Amino acid sequence: MAEPETIGELLSERGISRRGLLKYAAYLASLMALPPWQSNAIADALAAARRQSVIWLSFQECTGCTESLTRSFSPTLENLIFNLISLDYHETLQAVSGEAAEQARRSAMRDNKGKYIVVVDGSVPTRDGGVYGTVAGQSMLQILNDTAAGAKALIAVGTCAAFGGIPHAQPDPTGAVPLTSLIKDKPIINISGCPPIPEAMAGTIAYLITFGRLPDLDHLNRPKSLFGNTIHDRCYRRSFYDKGLFAKSFDDEGARRGWCLYELGCKGPVTYNSCATLKWNGGVSFPIQSGHGCLGCSEPNFWDKGGFYHPLSTPTGHPTAAVGAAAVAGIGVGAVSALLARRAKREATSTGEKP
Amino acid sequence: MPDADSIGSAPPSGAAVVSGVLREVAERLEALAERGECGVIDLKSLPLSDSHLQQLRERLGRGEVSAQLEILGPSEIWETRYPGVWWVRHLGVTDLVAAERIEITRVPDILSAALPDVVTAAQSLNDDLALYATTRRERTDHGRT
Amino acid sequence: MTLLDFARGPALAVSFAVFTFGVAWRVLFLVLLPWSRDRSVARGSAPSAVVGAVRGFARHLWPRKAFAGAARFTTVNGYVMHFGLAIAFFGFAPHILFLQSVFGVHWPNLPSGLVSVASVVTLVSLVLALGHRFVSPVLRLISTANDYFSWFVTALPVVSGLMAVSHLWAPYETLLAVHLLSVALLLIWFPFGKLMHAFLVFVTRSETAIHYSRRGTVL
């Protein structure tokens, strides 16, 4: 039998009816904040589209992003995404290894020149020519530049690829940078989070396949539909914040009653992500619902923002030395100027002038 | 663990959204009646808590038709007390709601068989019949010898 | 570094240092100045300097009947503004966290709604004070840039704080950053302008009270 040309044919071959695609389209429209009446058109577009060639590059990362995306195993709606793409290279998931794996990447790049999507998780080490991260004898920096050259678009999944993340955190020994610092001539979508919400990754890829263009992005290149609101804005504990009811420790009465976690360092008010609405593990819960404040993992430099348990309204630095020095200097200047005044008075008195 | 629903919902207040949704349903139903225009309201995109959804379901009630679908996980569709207004709920992994919407239409598209599926079905039914005929012939042939 | 990172980090650190330097300088300078000795003979009925100072300070908390009419507005409005500011500053949970992280002490917070009301009242009172300064010919005559700027750096944290709480016009992170920066500005200006009265009011009023009580004047 001939290779299926379109996603519709492929799904039909795999026993998934057009109804399945309609259902997926309804889910996708809701996820990506598309007009709900467009779901029929989305299903048609997906059915007629070719499978999207995807090359997944893993750089300075922990594989948590891949874990997140592949976490649900059952052949269900959320996993339909794996029928929409042809994952041509992914070091963790592909069966082949060594030279055969690199060959797969090169042939995908050749066969789909200008049409493939590059997904990157992990930041790119740039210090000392990028020697701190190599795959198959090539630096990650080199691999990225080579692979991105023929790509249609790049998706940076995870905070490391999007903003540098943990490798970029102080003292940043490898000179880790995000994709946007290196690739200037291709569209880049950032799906930040540590890890990102799986639906956010899958939904964005599906959007690209369906419409052939980028979704609306915010100033940090993140899809507005998923990163348009703060955690705080959609948090079910918000009413307690408004009433001024705060948990003071993780095991006090307020914590048990589910009061706001602002005082325990929750970064929800300044963190843009969909955790409060999409939630995690297929919608079971999210950190705040489990009793822990938001770490702000989908924001740039979240690791270096003065501590996860320090409330947002507090200063991040403890300039004890500077303040101490300022006090000493103030006392010194005050004392000297007072002494000068005393001397001036004494001289004035001794010369007979009235003070 | 605190129950998200008992604690109150995100602003704006859910009660206002419930009546807002009902007004929109009424408007769209009028459009369907007068001009044959179909409409969809995505409930997941609205700040509705479970109890507000429950309220909404009760206000709309249940009508004559309901259907259980098994497509990449279960789905449920029922016509509300108001013909032309359908409640569509798609479940995904572990029975969590993947999409929940109110469709204002004569019949939701997902209920009718799509043409490509019908084409495939016609093909596969013919294949099945041919296969059945072949096996029967073979069996009769075996019986004779 | 985002604006909020800058506000929470370097901006506050610098403002703490400048504030400490300025206050230390001005207070110590005042204490060590060659004060003229009061050469008058104290009246027999005169109380000790400390008692005189306390008594005079207390007496000045409210104007005498003769001045009640003229001073009523400034007195009442002044109290409203200062109490409102104190309620908002010491009662709001995020402020207590701020103070706790700096000084290590904390206390129970007031409901956010009450704090918002206090802040709005403070703001109204600040606007009235400024209006009065414009309208009153005498006040207008003696007002300097110092007065207006001190008013400005006091009003700014109140306005930006209210905006941050109500998430008005800009994202919370921006509003919070602006609020913290306005506090930094206030702290930096504090020792060098009229805001220093928060410390010096005790010095000046006591000084006046001692001067008069020594001469037997009952204020």
> For residue range A301-312, what is the model confidence (pLDDT) as tens digits?
999 888 899 888
Digit-coded pLDDT (tens) for A130-139: 999 999 899 9
pLDDT at A85 over 60: yes
Co-location of A180 and A70 in the same domain = yes
A33 and A225 Cβ atoms separated by less than 8 Å: yes
**More confident position, B85 or A203:** B85
Q: Which CATH superfamily is domain B1-108 in?
A: HupH hydrogenase expression protein, C-terminal domain (3.30.1370.140)
Residue C14: count of CB within 10 angstroms of its CB = 17
| A29 lies within 8 A of chain B by CB | yes
Smallest Cα distance from B63 to chain A, Å: 23
Residue C58: count of CB within 10 angstroms of its CB = 12
| B51 lies within 8 A of chain A by CB | no
Co-location of A118 and A68 in the same domain = yes
| A313 lies within 8 A of chain C by CB | yes
User: What interface predicted TM-score (ipTM) does this complex get?
Assistant: 0.83
> Is residue A71 situated within a structural domain?
yes
Domains and CATH numbers, chain C: 3-20+46-214 (1.20.950)
The percent of residues above 70 in pLDDT, for chain A, comes to 96
**More confident position, A83 or B4:** A83
Question: CB distance C24–A326 less than 8 Å?
Answer: yes
Q: What pLDDT band is residue A73 in, cutting at 50, 70 and 90? A: very low
The residues that bridge with A176 in the sheet, in sequence order, are A125
Co-location of A140 and A107 in the same domain = yes
Q: What pLDDT band is residue B6 in, cutting at 50, 70 and 90? A: very low
| C21 lies within 8 A of chain A by CB | yes
CA atoms within 13 A on the CB side of A344: 10
> Is residue A30 situated within a structural domain?
no
Question: CB distance C112–A244 less than 8 Å?
Answer: yes
Neighboring chains of C (3 or more beta-carbon pairs < 8 A): A
Digit-coded pLDDT (tens) for A9-59: 888 888 888 998 999 899 889 888 888 888 889 999 999 998 899 999 999
What is the C-alpha to C-alpha distance for residues C167 and B10, in angstroms, rounded to an integer?
14
Q: What pLDDT band is residue A353 in, cutting at 50, 70 and 90? A: low
Query: A302-333 in b/e burial notation, b at 16+ Cβ within 10 A?
Result: bbbbbebebbbbbbbeebeebbeebbeebbeb
Digit-coded pLDDT (tens) for A98-130: 999 999 999 999 999 999 999 999 999 999 999
CATH at residue A260: 4.10.480.10
Smallest Cα distance from A344 to chain C, Å: 10
Picking from A225, A256, A280, the residue at the C-terminal end of a domain is A225
Digit-coded pLDDT (tens) for A233-288: 889 998 898 888 899 999 999 999 999 999 999 999 999 999 998 888 777 889 99
Q: State how many domains chain A has.
A: 3
Question: CB distance B90–A76 less than 8 Å?
Answer: no
- pLDDT of A76: 66
What own/partner pairs with CB < 8 Å and gap ≥ 24 does A208-211 have?
A208/A52, A208/A117, A208/A153, A208/A155, A209/A7, A209/A46, A209/A49, A209/A52, A209/A84, A209/A85, A210/A28, A210/A42, A210/A45, A210/A46, A210/A49, A211/A45
Range of the structural domain that residue A261 is part of: 229-317
- pLDDT of A300: 93
Q: Is B29 exposed, middle or buried (0-12, 13-18, 19+ CB in 10 A)?
A: middle
Co-location of A109 and A158 in the same domain = yes
Co-location of A153 and A166 in the same domain = yes
The helix/strand/coil state of B117 is helix
* Residue A311, phi then psi, degrees to nearest 5: -60, 155
Co-location of A125 and A194 in the same domain = yes
Mark the ranges of chain C whose per-residue pLDDT is less than 50.
none
Q: Which residues contact A102 (CB under 8 A, 6 or more apart)?
A: A136
Collect all residues of chain B within an 8 Å Cβ-Cβ radius of residue A237.
7
| C102 lies within 8 A of chain A by CB | yes
- pLDDT of B11: 45
| C110 lies within 8 A of chain A by CB | yes
